[in-house]
Structure 1
């Protein structure tokens, strides 16, 4: 499959618009990327032309975006580039979209604190009691995980 995958560094230009649809959660926002270059004559940084994209996200990524991204925040967006042309008001216009695969804060321009999203688990037919072990995804951590957690807690 020939898809154009891109990674763009820029800022959220609008807030995230979130909707529940028949096919699941959907989110979109406008994203601005402005290249900067060093102007040797003026001895200062100069901004280039700003490119705007509409970023689309689905399912868990859409839900996480809605709770994590605000206007102006520095981001990295990775996804499939889609260019489309439409006629609006008698004028032909070009729109550039990115169907996001991953979105994250640009840690070169600030800090972030990651929180794992809690997912609803499907109702299993038979689940072992906590501490009995069992299949992957069991509620009780393995003894090795408990030991590693205890070591990390004693270090900090």
Structure 2
């Protein structure tokens, strides 16, 4: 089965670089998608079930993902879902695999800066180094320092629109 799906969740571990038998590069990571809702009776956020997805990212998108996203970051992934049945000596199960067609940071919880990837391997190495240096700041917006990264945003000046019934609660 292969269906189109959009997921919003947190990256469980740093993306890994892998290679196909044909020599093509792949980025692979796991994505945790949790159900969260506001319980008006208890006046608090409650956790629901968490689903885990194995995400594979091919080609240039995969190379850019390796340079851009890290463990703990909240991302939006769009791609093709494939449910795969598996079995080993002790148990059986179903795995949800996603082949990503697009990835981006969830801007509800932080800021990011787009940088077009120059063509050529030498330019890519430079962009990768720059992205790796600023990736930690994206994951922790409160620790950002405007002088450390060009284009950084002081998060204290950014106001977050909040619904009236959730003014004192945050889902994460």
Q: TM-score, normalised by structure 2?
A: 0.66
The alpha-carbon deviation at position 24 of structure 1 amounts to 1.3
Question: In terms of mean alpha carbon deviation, does 70-79 or 32-41 score higher?
Answer: 32-41
Structure 1 regions of 5+ residues with no counterpart?
122-156
Instruction: Give the count of matched residue pairs.
Output: 120
RMSD over aligned CA atoms reads 1.6
For the pair shown, the structure with the greater C-alpha radius of gyration is: 1
Per-residue deviation, residues 96-146 of structure 1 (Å, max 9, x unmatched): 01100000000111100111111239xxxxxxxxxxxxxxxxxxxxxxxxx
The alpha-carbon deviation at position 89 of structure 1 amounts to 2.3
Q: Give the ranges of 4+ consecutive aligned residues of structure 1 lying more than 2 Å apart after TM superposition.
A: 19-23
Report SS of the residue matched to 1:66.
helix
Alpha-carbon distance in structure 1 between the residues aligned to 2:92 and 2:19 = 31
Aligned to 1:57: 57
Q: TM-score, normalised by structure 1?
A: 0.73
Structure 2 regions of 5+ residues with no counterpart?
122-172
> Which has the larger share of helix?
2
